[in-house]
Amino acid sequence: MHGDFLRLEMSMLSGLLLYEILSLLKTVKGETEHVEGYLELSAKTKTYFTTAISLWDADFYVKVDDDVHVNIGALAATLARHRSKPSVYIGCMKSGPVLVQKGVRYREPEHWKFGDDGNRYFRHATGQLYAISKDLATYISINRHILHKYANEDVTVGSWFIGLDVEHIDDRKLCCGTPPGNNFQLPISQMHGICKSVERIKEVHRRCAEGDNALWSAAF
């Protein structure tokens, strides 16, 4: 979760859970002396996973951007199918080009580590929405002081798992995007970077929501 605001469905959260979430956000901000900015996302994500696993005992830990609409019931059902697998990294996997030109967005200052010009990154999940199993979150927590951070947060997280025996699961339902015709039919995540998300999130929820009973009736 990142951005200048936090959107919570207050009616769905118990007081204790809300307190724990706010404590998590306060810890993430405090431990990193955090300053918002794209180049700070890798450090923030590392602290998020480290703090989350110290607060909650879960099978999976999910990172989602605050301008992505997520149907929680569908997401939970998807994760439940992989619960018995150790060391799982689930997301919309990609392998984009390593950008070397100065002044361009997503430039990789350490591009030389990835080979010659024209090379592509190793396979990794897009940063908008992905999940890691408990043992991977534990690995990040234990090794947080020696894990390297690259310029791009999604590349950074993928790099932490490259040398490990990790199962990469490319689930296209976790890919963010607006379908043709703006029908918003993707079952888990409907949009990547909602324009004017503060104003439009209620509209997107109205058009994309899975239904009031989906979360409570999901088979975990």
pLDDT tens for 175-218 read 866 443 333 334 444 444 555 666 777 777 777 778 777 767 76
Rounded to 5°, angle at Cα 210 from 204 and 216: 135
Of 158 and 8, the structure prediction assigns the larger pLDDT to: 158
Angstrom distance (rounded) from CA 54 to CA 41: 20
Q: Is pLDDT at 88 greater than 50 in this prediction?
A: yes
Angstrom distance (rounded) from CA 35 to CA 16: 27
Out of 47-56, 73-82, 113-122, 207-216, pick the least confident. 207-216
**What pLDDT sits at residue 20?**
55
Mean pLDDT of the region 26-31: 56
Mean pLDDT of the region 4-21: 42
Q: Among 40, 74, 62, which residue's Cα sits nearest to residue 151?
A: 40
User: What residues does each domain of the chain span?
Assistant: 10-217
The class (CATH top level) of 10-217 is alpha beta
Phi, psi of 88 (to 5 degrees): -115, 135
